[in-house]
Homo-oligomer: A and B are copies of this chain.
């Protein structure tokens, strides 16, 4: 018998008198107990006053490196988690999705954190905004970590993935988390949490854990806290209606089970790779986790003429499902999480059964013990008149086939779900894809298109990915999770900052045009990464550009565009006053003006961004370059990336081109 502990305000707390029993999905036996009285105020203090400041003192890159270490640590200690996972009814491959899928999600966040966030504590959101004519008063949006705690309320179906997909963006943002998994499978979540806590990789106060009920925690939510919920629409409504959450505008992200649809394109007739793919995706979504997935396909929407072939093919497919002991590698579908859950699924099936005919599946349970059931397929002949098929979710291996007449009808049916996490469309016809996307995108958090081109590498209708937003409007909860950096921002406050470029540069840890420049005492290309200061600037000598230069460049490179070669023709062009120098000539001459020929700290020019040609340069004009250190980002132990703001000016000090130059610069040590 497992005695599940909470980890609250720095201590492990064992189950108390009011602990509740937890049963194996496979044998129905009691296997664990969880539940204890919690000092939720102390937990919040611990998060807000110990964990928060410690996390905020790290940069995004520091946190990303720790996330990576934590994911690797979990990978090395994952074996016992699989044994516990079988008890939840999950097969080996279900467990892989949960355990390894969760670890991979954390790794993707770690990697995106390093690549897409700065090595700083403040994230700059969007471009500098020009709020004044002379540029002395400007605007910049910044994102900073919330000062509160993130409360994660997770569903029972993916105890590890569900915990890690919320935890990764939260910690990356610099916000401490209090994790409250569903009690039914909390033994697995507790084991994974313990591995993370004992690693000591994140600072004290960063993570806490609740086994059992969360007491009055949500009644203590304030303006800087976040609640991220995954589960049923009913529970979400109850939680989000809490007065303190509404009164304090506490962020509440909800990710709810929804009536997800999969649409078969009219082109995907039997015999096409898309038809087989459609059957395969539907089969997978019905059987993986025994259909206990918030993204499972609940409504299979097929052209009228293809309904019979779909029923036939899918039924044949489902007949091959092997139900049984989840720990056996032969088993292709495990148990529901509990017999209570199975009873609930059956009750909802009965509601659906009033509007739809069952075409596959039986009432009898395939095994005497545990929470097993056979897959169930319904066919609803009149989906326009039907209601339950669009509203009632049987959270198990249950799906209903609905016929459609044409694409607008298919879109209308898909949208009848009132908002869902995902809809898939299996078609090889880009015009079908385009029409359906326009018709249904606003109602769905994710659209999954698949065909013969993508099927070998596609990840499945039901798989949320850390790169992509997970969540959906309306019935699906109106929330968003993951989606790379977007998911990190759910735990940060976006603030509009206004002021002089000098002040904005100091706040944003990035030199902004208009801020003071620091005159370089030696050529900045002779200085190492750690020596360079933001704002450090070199202004080059000037070089006069002759008509011979232009002609020579044209013949050497082959770029004899008339604007460079023919005065008459160039004059007729709305952009040029006459013959002008090539844009690439300007870039090349600028490099000649600022480069340091001898080996030094600057290792390479790796790219260039936002190049804008602002004024043509004619023969007789002079060119001068000014380079300013804009941003510094450590990349390896040997070197970092330095972004230079480059302005090319003419003899009248007018900008002729501006761009950002990316270089790799070595460390001194």
Report yes or no: B606 in contact with A609, Cβ–Cβ below 8 A: no
List A residues 122-163 near B (Cβ within 8 Å): 122, 126, 129, 131-134, 136-137, 139, 141-142, 144-147
Q: CB distance B612 to A606 under 8 Å? A: yes
In the complex, chain B residues whose CB is within 8 Å of the CB of A556: 552-553, 556
Question: Is A223 at the interface (CB under 8 A from chain B)?
Answer: yes
Interface pair A496/B469, CB less than 8 Å apart: yes
Q: Which chain B residues lie closer than 8 Å to A572 at the CB level?
A: 599
Contact A141 B607 (CB under 8 A): no
Interchain CB contact under 8 A, B447 and A559: no
Q: Contact at B131–A465, with CB atoms within 8 Å? A: yes
Q: Does A82 contact B (CB under 8 A)?
A: no
**How close is A481's CB to chain B, nearest CB, in angstroms?**
11
Query: Assuming the A-B contacts A497-B449, A611-B609, are A139 and B506 also in contact, with contact meaning beta carbons closer than 8 angstroms in the complex?
Result: no
A477 and B441 form a contact (CB under 8 A) = no
Q: Is the CB of B453 within 8 A of A502?
A: yes
Cross-chain contact B558 with A437 (CB below 8 angstroms): no
B-contact bits for A559-600, CB 8 A (1 contact / 0 none) = 111110100010011111000001111011101110111110
Identify the stretch in A245-253, A323-331, A332-340 within 8 Å (CB) of chain B at 4 or more residues.
Answer: A245-253
Question: Contact between B468 and A604 (Cβ–Cβ < 8 Å)?
Answer: no
Given A468-B129, A557-B588, residue A137 in contact with residue B493 (CB < 8 A): no
Which of B249, B441, B609 is within 8 Å of A495, CB to CB?
B441
Chain B residues with CB under 8 Å of A569's CB are 599
Given A499-B450, A560-B597, are A247 and B251 also a contact pair (CB < 8 Å)?
no
Interface size on A, residues (CB 8 A): 136
Q: Most B CB atoms within 10 A — which of A248, A250, A576? A: A248
CB neighbours of A443 from chain B (8 A): 147, 223-224, 493
Main secondary structure of the interface of A (DSSP, over half): mixed
Is there an interface contact between A467 and B237, defined as CB atoms closer than 8 Å?
no
| Bound-complex Cα distance A563 to B574 (A) | 40
Q: Is A458 an interface residue (CB 8 A)?
A: yes
A386 touches B (CB below 8 Å): no
Contact yes or no, A612 B604, CB < 8 A: no
Residue pair A224, B438 in contact (C-beta under 8 Å): no
The residue in chain B whose Cβ has the minimal distance to the Cβ of A525 is B561
Check if A444 sits within 8 Å of B607, measured CB to CB: no
Q: Which residues of B contact A146 (CB under 8 A)?
A: 442, 473
From B139, B451, B498, B565, A503 is in contact (CB under 8 Å) with: B451
For A200-244 the 0/1 string (1 means CB < 8 A from B) is 000000000000000000000011100000000100010011000
**Which chain B positions have C-beta within 8 A of A588?**
553, 557, 559, 582, 584-585, 588
A597 and B561: CB pair below 8 A? yes
Docked Cα-Cα span, A607 to B584, in Å, equals: 10
Contact pattern, A 472-485, Cβ under 8 Å of B = 1, otherwise 0: 01111111100110
Closest to A504 in B: B449
The reply to whether the CB of A605 lies closer than 8 angstroms to some CB of chain B is: yes
Is A320 in the interface zone, CB < 8 Å from B? no
> Copies per complex?
2
Q: In the bound complex, how far is the Cα of B553 from the Cα of A225, in angstroms?
A: 59
Residue A507 at the B interface, CB < 8 A? yes
* A630 CB to nearest B CB, Å: 16
In the docked arrangement, what's the CA distance between A282 and B517, Å?
32
Smallest CB gap from A256: residue in B: B249
Residue of B nearest to A453 (CB): B500
B residues near A470, Cβ cutoff 8 Å: 496
Min CB distance, A11 to chain B, in Å?
Answer: 28
Q: Which residue from chain B places its CB closest to the CB of A129 in the assembled complex?
A: B467
Asked whether, in the complex, the Cβ of B560 is within 8 Å of the Cβ of A441, the reply is: no
Instruction: Identify which of residues 536-570 in chain A touch chain B, using a CB-to-CB cut-off of 8 Å.
Output: 543, 552-553, 556-563, 565, 569
Q: Are B499 and A433 in contact (CB under 8 A)?
A: yes
| Contact between chains at B139 and A497 (CB < 8 Å) | no
Q: Is the CB of B507 within 8 A of A434?
A: yes
Q: Fill in one digit per residue for A424-448: 1 if any B CB lies within 8 Å of its CB, else 0.
A: 0000001101100110011111111
In the assembled complex, A610 has its CB within 8 A of some CB on chain B? yes
Is A591 a contact of B582 with CB atoms below 8 Å? yes
Closest-CB distance, A477 to chain B (whole angstroms)? 6
**A147-B443, A448-B498, A606-B612 known; A246-B251 Cβ under 8 A:** no
Interface residue from B137, B477, B574 paired with A249 (Cβ < 8 Å): B477
C-beta contact mask, A657-669 vs B, less than 8 Å → 1, else 0?
Answer: 0010000100000
Sort A-B residue pairs by CB-CB distance and give the 3 closest, nearest first.
Answer: A223-B474, A558-B592, A249-B478
- CB-defined A-B contacts under 8 Å, sample of 16: A132-B459, A136-B456, A137-B458, A139-B468, A223-B478, A224-B473, A251-B478, A430-B506, A441-B495, A448-B498, A458-B498, A553-B588, A565-B597, A574-B639, A607-B611, A609-B611
